[in-house]
Structure formats: C-alpha cells, structure tokens
Amino acid sequence: MPLKNTPIRRKLMTIILLTSGVVLSLTCVSFFAYEFLTFRQVTVQQLSTLGEIIAANSTAALAFDNQDDAKEVLAALKAEPHIVGACLYDKERRLFSKYPDILPADAFPAAPGEDGYRFESSHLVAFHPVVQGGKRLGTLYLKSDMEAMYERFRRYGGISILVIVLSFVVAYALSRALQKQISQPILALAETAKAISDRRDYSVRASKLGEDEFGLLTDAFNQMLTQIQAQNQALKESEERVRAVLNSALSAVLVIDANGKILDWNARAEAMFGWSRGEALGQDLTGTIIPPQYREAHRHGIERFLGTGEGAVVSRLVEMSALRRDGSEFPVELSVSPLKTGNVVTFCGFITDITERKQAEARLQAQLSRLELLSRITRAISERQDLPSIFQVIIRSLEDNLPIDFGCVCLYDPAAKVLTVTSVGVRSGVLAMELALTEQARVPIDQNGLSHCVRGQLVYEPDIIQVPFPFPQRLASGGLRSLVAAPLLVDGKVFGVLLAARRLAHSFNSADCEFLRQLSEQVALAAHQAQLYGTLQQAYDELRETQHTVMQQERLRALGQMASGIAHDINNAISPIALYTQSLLEREPNLSARARDYLVTIQGAIEDVAQTVAGMREFYRPREPQLTLAPVQLNHTISQVINLTRARWSDIPQERGIVIRLETDLPPDLPGIMAVENEIRDALTNLILNAVDAMPAGGVLTIRTRAISLPAPQNEQEPATHVCLEVCDTGVGMDEETRRRCLEPFFTTKGERGTGLGLAMVYGMVQRHTSEMEIESKPGAGTTIRLIFAVATPVTASAVWLPAQAPSRPLRVLIVDDDPLIIKSLRDTLESDGHKVTTADGGQAGINAFAASRQRGELFDVVVTDLGMPHVDGRSVAAAVKAASSATPVILLTGWGQRLLAEHDTPPHVDRILSKPPKLQELRAALAELAATSVEVKVL
C-alpha cells in the first residue's frame, strides 16, 4: 500500500521512525567512512615509516650485494604481524631478497612496480625506493595485511546495529504515544466530513478539540459548511429562477445532447410546438420539430460540430422552418449555442416564431416597392415639364410596375362636364381602340361613378360588371373587372382623372388605392407645376428680350456719342475745304475746265464725307419726323436699289461661277410709307449685300413687300396700317450668338471685308423711322430680315426748304472760332461776298471784340460763333452778344449741329444753327434772312 493511502496514524509513525532511522544510519555511515579513511591513512603512514627504515637498512646490502645481510634486515619485519610479505629488488630490478624466506619467489611481483602505496584487494602494497647518498640502489616491496582494519570494522558494525535497534524501539514507543495529538483531530474532522458527504447534510458541524491550528481548521471547516449551505440555497433559488426565466422567454428554448435527444424544453416551446415538457424530454429532436427536409442536415450538422467545432447554424441567427405537433410548418428564427460542460457537449437552441414578422416584412416590402415606384415616378415627372409627357410617364410606370392592365389620364372640362382622354398607356393602346378610349376621345359624365371622382373622391369599383352605368359597362366589355378612378386636384379643383383597371375583379387592395391616390396627388402637383413653369418661362423670355433690347440701345448710344465726337472733329477739319472749294467755283470764272472739274470732284467728295460723317453720327438716333420723313413708294425704291446693286448680286458672283437668282414679289398697290428715301435705300443696299455675302455658293435672293394690318385685322375691309419688306436669302444663316450680336456696330462675320456697320445702320434707320425689324435665321437655313413701316398718312410734308437770296447789302460780321483755318476760310469767303469781317480766335476774344465795336458805335450786323471752344463757348458768346444787343442775330456754327437739334437743345440767344462743314448757300441764306430781320428790328 503506498504511503499516501495509509491511515494518517501509521503515516505519522512511519515518518518518525524513518526520520530517526535515516539520521542514525547517516551518522553510522559517516562514522564508518571517517574511520575507514583515517585507518587507511594511518596504515599507509605506518607502512611508509617501516619502509623508510627497512630501505635505509638495506642500502649497504644492496650496494655490496650482500643477500645475507638483506635477509637479516627483512627478517626484522617479524615484529610487524600484518606485514605478510616483503622483498628487495636490486638496481637491475631483480629480486634480491625476500621475506618470509619460505614464500616462493613467484609470490612476489616479478619486477618492482611504481614507487608509492596502493591498496590491492585486502592488502596495502608499497614500493619504496632504496637510496643511498642520492643514488638509487634498489626497491623495497612491502605487502601489509588489512585484516586489522576489517576486524575493527566488524566490531564497530556490531555496536552500530545494536544502537540502531535500540533507537528504533524507543522511537516507535514515543511516536505511538505522540501521534495521537495530531491524528485525533484530523480523524475527527474526517469523520465529520464523511458523515456530511454521506448524508449530504450540510447542517452538521465538527466539534472543536483545541485552539491550535486544528481548532482553526475546524472553525474554517464549519464556516465552509455554512457557506456551502448558503450557496446550495442560492443555487437552488438560482436554478428555480433560471427555469422561470426559461419558461417566461418569448423564444422556445430547448437543450439537446449530442445524439439529438431533448434534455430541456421550456414553456414557450410547449406552446409553440404543441409538445409538453414531459412528452418532449428524452425524445429525438429530429422526430419532433425538424421538418423532413432539414433532418439530414441537422444530423450532419451535429456530427460536423462534434468533429470540427464548426457548424453552419452554431452561434448564428438562422431562419428556417419548424414543424408543429399537428404537422404544420411555420417560419422560425433559430440560433444554436453549444454548451460544453466537462467533456459532454450539449446544444441549446433558441427558436422564435417569426410568422408575424415574415408577414410584416412582406407587407413592408410591398410598401417599400410602392414607395420606390412612387419616388421613381415622381423623379421621372420632375424631369419633364409638359403635361402629355408627364402623363405618359405615369401610365407607363403603372403598366409596368403596379401593374395594371389598362391605364389612361383624362382631362376634365367642368363647363361641358366631359372628360377628354389625354394619354393612353402603350400597353393599353389596343384595349383603348377596342373601348373607343383612344386619345382625344370624350367621355360624358353622367350619374356614374365618375361623377364622384370629378367631385374630388377616389372611386374604386371592385367589380364593374355589377355597376349598371354605361362607362363601367364599356370597360367591362373589354374584359376589365376592377377599376380605380383617382381625381387630379389642384387648389381643390378637379382638372383630370387617372383611370387604372385590371382584368381581375377585386384585384386592387387598400394599399393599391392609397398608392394611386398619392400618385394622383403627385401628378396633379406636377401638372400644376408644369403650368406654372410654362408661365414663368414665358415671363422670363419676355424679360430677357426686353433686357436684350435695352442693352442693345445702350450700346448703340455709347457708340453714337463716340461717333459724334469723331464727326465733330471731321466736320471742323473739312470746313475750310468746303468753303474754299465753293468759293473757288463761284468766284473764279477763269478756272480751266480741268481745275473746275477737279474742284467739283473735291466738292462732291467733301459732301460724301459730310454725308458719311452725318450718317455715322446719327445712325442710332430717332430722327425728328417732321424734319426728314416723306412719303416714299417702297417698290420704286426697291427697284432702284436692285439696279444699283446688280453688279454685286449678279455680275461679280457670276465671274466666279456662282449663280444668285433674284426673286421679287412687289404688289403694285402697295401703300406709301413715311420715310427718308435715301436711308431706306442705304438700308436696302446693305441688306442685299449681306444676303449676297451669306450665299457664297449661290442661292435665291427674295425681296418681297406686302401690306399688313397690325394688330390682327378685325375685318377684311380695313385698310392696311403697315407695309412689310422682306429680304430673304438661302445662305448660311446665323447661329443664335451671331443673331443676337448682328446689330451691334462693328460686329462682323466677314473679317476684313466687313465694317460691322451695315446691319447697325439698318437698325439705326429702323429706329429713326420708328419701324420694326425682325430677323429669322438658323444656321444653314438662310436668313430673313423683315422691316415693317407704318403706312404714310395722307398729309403733305410740311418741311419745305425755301432757298434764300444773297444779301443785297454788305454786312459787318464778327466771326468767333478757335480754329484759325476756319476763321481764315470763313473770312475769305465772306469777304469775297462783300461783307466786312472781323474775327476773334476765342470766346472771350469774341465778346471783347463785340463790346469794342459797340463802344465804337459800329455794331456788328451778325455774329457767327463756333459752339465748342475752350474756356468760353459759343453759348456764352451768344448770351453776351444778346445781353449787349438783343437785336443782333447770332449764328451758331457747329460740328454738333444735328445733335443739338435732336436734343431740342437750341440754346437761348441763338438765332440759327448751321452745321459744319458750312455750305456757302446755307450761310448766305442765313445771313440774308437774319440781316433782314435785324434791320427790321433796328428800324422798329
């Protein structure tokens, strides 16, 4: 029996005896070892001494080869009984002498061994050198018997055994008596523990025997018992609680072992599967709740988990179906947790009945898809602005996705109480033909279901065969059975109806109806938005048009101002040329024919320049109608221009093989218009040239006129109010950008060839004539420019210029101008006419000169002053002159002339304004007229 299983009493005694025995044995062994070593040492020492003596005594015997003597020396060893043998070897290592003599020579080593001592079996053997005077003479061999030592050991051994035996006896007696002190309390404790574990009664307590460690142990033991008792109680309560929790769980909780046998089964499981706990426990799970299609997988899953520790459903939420006791299957959510206690694996399954959730999910899914559809439709609608396209999108989406068998949108006319079919779905097309519900078909509203709808209610007819009204019957004849009519409402008013129908009766559920209702709201909203958008777009377009026009005018105004400045300078510059040329032509009769011809040419050129400058300066400005407008026969002017420009639209292109065909449509009874003919002519020329330029590969140039009435005529007999002139080409046309900018001055598409002023001038003319201009053009489709003029009123023009006679008498004339060339040329020409001319080269100088003449009493008859001068301008001069002598006429000579007129800016104190370059005729006429007036004044 191993020590650990022996009773504690014996264990204690064994320990005590073993301890004392081991201590004693160790003591003896060490004593023996010490004795042995000491004895050996002593023996060796004794033998060494003996050897020393014998060797010393043997030297002479060896040196002088005296064996007798050697024998004698060795014989002395008799006194040492333990020396059992000795001998001497001579220098040649031969046996020289032996002791005891009776021993045979082979009892000794044949030759001496190494010097020193060694123990051989039971003997100590020594080889001792025999040395005399440092000279080795031979070797002494001694053999000592160790019997003495063994004798001594035997004696010691006896004593030791005696002592050990005695000690054992004493130790046994003592331990027997003392072990009780320790073993008794332990045994008592063990007894108690055994009793508790046998009876499982944790209320038993161990009795305490003392206050030592065993007392403490007993206390701890008792305390432990108390704790165990408390824990047991707690455990029991906890188990009851767990059971209660399990039973109250909403999930079915069941535990199976590795073989699939049911170990636990909670209340919910009883309710869910129909097996009571008692019935279920011990059954095979496979046979109870697992549907046949999962049984194989279930068994395989358990095996796989036990083999690999992995499982498809372990510690995961899995949806599958389960079997009730009555054999019905239902969807469950299952999670399986392996429970490992020790080496036993069980599985705990949590099963939730998700039938309701599944249904809810399906409902939610359907709702989501509806919502998705709604959002898709809404998005599609939002991308469209026109009603037909919006309706088409809706119906197509409904056909595809709701789905429906027939769908259409009708617009409602409340006055006529009629629905007009506006959009029919693509798939519904065939059926619509059959039902005569194609687009634009009209459906009268009587007392049928639609009357509810047009009052704003959604109408659902689950089975229209049952409805005796004509419209439902009409649909039913096409095989449709159920119908939903959803009103399209804006601001509480129905403007249309959305119709959706299916071939199956009762096939729309409440969700479908709700969906259609929401959809119809969306549609109505979108339709409303589309209308609003259309209005907004229109307003915006108009606004943009206006803004464009304003910008155009503003741009032209700025350019016009600049042009005026330039024109002023040019007019000043060419004034002397004009004056001198006229003067020369008039006053030099002796001019050669060639000089005269040249001068006439110069005069013409100057007039051209003046004309061009005037045109440039004024092309943007509305002209005073009474000044310029005259009745013009447009057709006549057109014919003139066509002839004038023939080279450009016919001859020059033909040289390059390009043919431009001119077509005219000029009705002979065209009313006259109020216009300046040469401006019309210029404009027409420009338009024709542009048209030719737009047709580099040839084409048709059409010019037509017609009388029109604006606004639209109320009856045929009304006379035309306007005349329309159209210039059309079949050329390259203009893109939007070009069309927008084509009226801007200096904007050209012709590169170096164009000035960019052609159309701008046309536009200026149009502005001045308060007529209208329209441009129609598309890239590649040619351009049509339409000018619309008002018809001339049958009133004769009032502005008739009366030529004046040259003044009969010479006049005193003061000329004020800051330009010396003009002063000189004016003086020269006026003096040639016989006038007396005084000049002043600035405003102040002019005022001074006038004041001086007045003091002299020689008042000037006429003052001619420039308008723009530094420091003191023409207005100041005129004011000063009139202040001094109000009767003295003042003629203002200006390069700005037309502008002053246009702005009604004829300054006070000025009697006449003449524009530069001054025409001699005009100047003379003015002088004559004013001088005459002033004389009259003077006279008065």
Partner 1 sequence: MALLKTFMPFAANHSPKTALRAWLAVFVLLLSGGLDLPAQTPATPEYQVKAVFLFNFAQFVEWPPEAFREAHSPVVIGVLGEDPFGSYLDETVRGEKVNNRPLVVQRYRRAEEIKTCHILFVSRSETERLEPIFAGLRGRNILTVGDAVGFAQRGGMIRFVTEKNKIRLRINLEAAKAASLMISSKLLRPAEIVAPGKD
Return the exposure string of 93-117: e unless at least 16 CB atoms fall within 10 Å of the residue's CB, then b. eebbbbbeeeeeeeebbeebeeeeb
Q: At what angle do helices 8-63 and 147-199 cross, to 10 degrees?
A: 170
Q: Where are the beta strands (DSSP E) in 573-672?
A: 630-632, 660-665
Shortest Cβ 80–partner 1 spacing (Å): 20
Q: Which is nearer to partner 1, 48 or 59 (CB)?
A: 59
Cβ neighbors of 208 (< 8 A, separation 6 or more) are 215, 218, 219
Shortest Cβ 72–partner 1 spacing (Å): 8
**59 binding partner 1? (CB under 8 A):** yes
Shortest Cβ 95–partner 1 spacing (Å): 17
> Which residues inside 64-93 make contact with partner 1, applying CB under 8 A?
64-66, 68-69
- Considering only the stretches 62-70, 190-198, 284-292, 674-682, report the one whose residues sit in contact with partner 1 under the rule CB under 8 A: 62-70
Binding partner 1 (rule: CB under 8 A), the pick from 8, 16, 44, 63 is: 63
- Considering only the stretches 56-64, 200-208, 224-232, 643-651, report the one whose residues sit in contact with partner 1 under the rule CB under 8 A: 56-64
Q: Which is nearer to partner 1, 72 or 434 (CB)?
A: 72
> Which residues inside 136-195 make contact with partner 1, applying CB under 8 A?
none
Q: Which is nearer to partner 1, 59 or 160 (CB)?
A: 59
Shortest Cβ 89–partner 1 spacing (Å): 17
Shortest Cβ 52–partner 1 spacing (Å): 14
Spatial contact of 574 and 610, defined as CB atoms under 8 Å apart: yes
Q: Which is nearer to partner 1, 63 or 720 (CB)?
A: 63
Shortest Cβ 59–partner 1 spacing (Å): 5
Residue bearing tokens 């803004």: 547
Rg of the chain on CA atoms, in Å: 73
Q: Which is nearer to partner 1, 133 or 794 (CB)?
A: 133
Return the exposure string of 631-656: e unless at least 16 CB atoms fall within 10 Å of the residue's CB, then b. bbebbebbeebbeebeebbbeebeee
Shortest Cβ 76–partner 1 spacing (Å): 12
| Two tokens, residue 885 | 């002598």
Q: Which is nearer to partner 1, 68 or 326 (CB)?
A: 68
Q: Where are the beta strands (DSSP E) in 699-854?
A: 699-708, 722-728, 772-777, 783-790, 812-816, 836-840
Shortest Cβ 60–partner 1 spacing (Å): 4
Shortest Cβ 67–partner 1 spacing (Å): 8
> Which residues inside 128-147 make contact with partner 1, applying CB under 8 A?
132-135
Report the C-alpha gap between 409 and 453 in whole angstroms.
Answer: 13
Binding partner 1 (rule: CB under 8 A), the pick from 13, 47, 55, 61 is: 61
Shortest CA distance to 673 belongs to which of 627, 632, 644? Answer: 632
Q: Which is nearer to partner 1, 76 or 348 (CB)?
A: 76
Strand partners, 444: 418
User: Count of residues binding partner 1 (CB under 8 A)?
Assistant: 15
Binding partner 1 (rule: CB under 8 A), the pick from 53, 56, 188, 630 is: 56
CA quadruple 190, 195, 200, 206: dihedral sign? negative
Q: At what angle do helices 510-587 and 355-382 cross, to 10 degrees?
A: 20
Q: Which is nearer to partner 1, 77 or 599 (CB)?
A: 77
Q: Which is nearer to partner 1, 70 or 691 (CB)?
A: 70
Residue type, 434: E
Shortest CA distance to 772 belongs to which of 760, 791, 788, 783? Answer: 788
Return the exposure string of 386-403: e unless at least 16 CB atoms fall within 10 Å of the residue's CB, then b. ebeebbbbbbbbbbeebe
Residue 651: DSSP 8-state: I
Binding partner 1 (rule: CB under 8 A), the pick from 60, 174, 666, 689 is: 60
Q: Which is nearer to partner 1, 132 or 222 (CB)?
A: 132
Q: Which is nearer to partner 1, 65 or 736 (CB)?
A: 65
Residue bearing tokens 């119908």: 483
Shortest Cβ 134–partner 1 spacing (Å): 7
Cβ neighbors of 79 (< 8 A, separation 6 or more) are none
**57 binding partner 1? (CB under 8 A):** yes
Shortest Cβ 133–partner 1 spacing (Å): 4
Give the interface with partner 1 as residue ranges (CB under 8 A): 56-57, 59-61, 63-66, 68-69, 132-135
